[in-house]
Amino acid sequence: MNLETTYKINEIFETLQGEGSFTGQPSIFIRLQGCPVGCSWCDTKHTWEVSLEQEVAQNNIVSKKSENDSWGIFTIVQLKELFLSEGYQAKHIVITGGEPCMYDLKPLCQNFEALGYSCQVETSGTFEIQVSKKCWVTVSPKVNMKGGFKVLKSALLRADEIKHPVATEQHIDDLKALLNEHEIENKQIYIQPISQKKRATELAIRSCIENNWRLSVQVHKYIGIE
């Protein structure tokens, strides 16, 4: 297990997971820098570009008080030391972004799993997923986005859950078409309103009932945590 593998990280923090199967789980979030997918509703657009001018020291990442596009380089050893120095109690790690699957995440997952952590990756499904066998994979399929990337069948097959953001009926149609195209069955599917607006929430609820899917409502935004 390569302890010297490096990752460009925008943010590291401890909170509760607010979405999907692990809702309410104390978690350490590792937010990676870089994403070419281009989702119009993305709430982390500050993670899209990897500008060398925005590289900062590690302590500036840990002490962030607001969202911005600065990032720092960490090895796995340095991440382990950081978890200890910050006194993190959570034993579940959420690897997000950005698009985390632009990176080889297998060393990260395997090293922390060996220490008793569980790992989860949240991905758009547009890059090959390189994680450990135990890692929980959340695919939030991004269809027809500005970047022009296709959702990969291999990503959908690897997914432990599919979490689809919706605001319109077209988003529901896109998901159904994607599942049919790749013959994806027997997957745990969550529908998540893109916003907290009544119309999107009602669409999500109705779609879950009609299709026997599950609802994810971004609990962290309702209770006011990161």
Banded pLDDT at 65 (limits 50, 70, 90): confident
Instruction: Encode pLDDT of 73-131 as tens digits.
Output: 999 999 999 999 999 999 999 999 999 999 999 999 999 999 999 999 999 999 999 99
Any binding-site annotation on 48? no
Any binding-site annotation on 32? no
How many domains does the structure of the chain reveal? Answer: 1
The residue range of the domain holding 140 is 6-165
Any binding-site annotation on 41? yes
CATH code, domain with 147? 3.20.20.70
Any binding-site annotation on 71? no
Give domain status of residue 218, yes or no: no
Give domain status of residue 183, yes or no: no
Instruction: Encode pLDDT of 128-144 as tens digits.
Output: 999 999 999 999 999 98
Nearest C-alpha neighbor of 104 from the set 69, 76, 84, 83? 76
Residue 210 token pair: 């009609």
Any binding-site annotation on 116? no
Give domain status of residue 82, yes or no: yes
Any binding-site annotation on 158? no
Give domain status of residue 225, yes or no: no
The whole model's pTM is what? 0.95
- Measuring CA to CA, how many Å separate 18 from each of 24, 47, 110, 127, 140? 6, 20, 24, 24, 14
Any binding-site annotation on 142? yes
Any binding-site annotation on 193? no
11, 29 contact by CB (below 8 A): yes
Give domain status of residue 120, yes or no: yes
Give domain status of residue 185, yes or no: no
Any binding-site annotation on 18? yes
Any binding-site annotation on 35? yes
Any binding-site annotation on 69? no
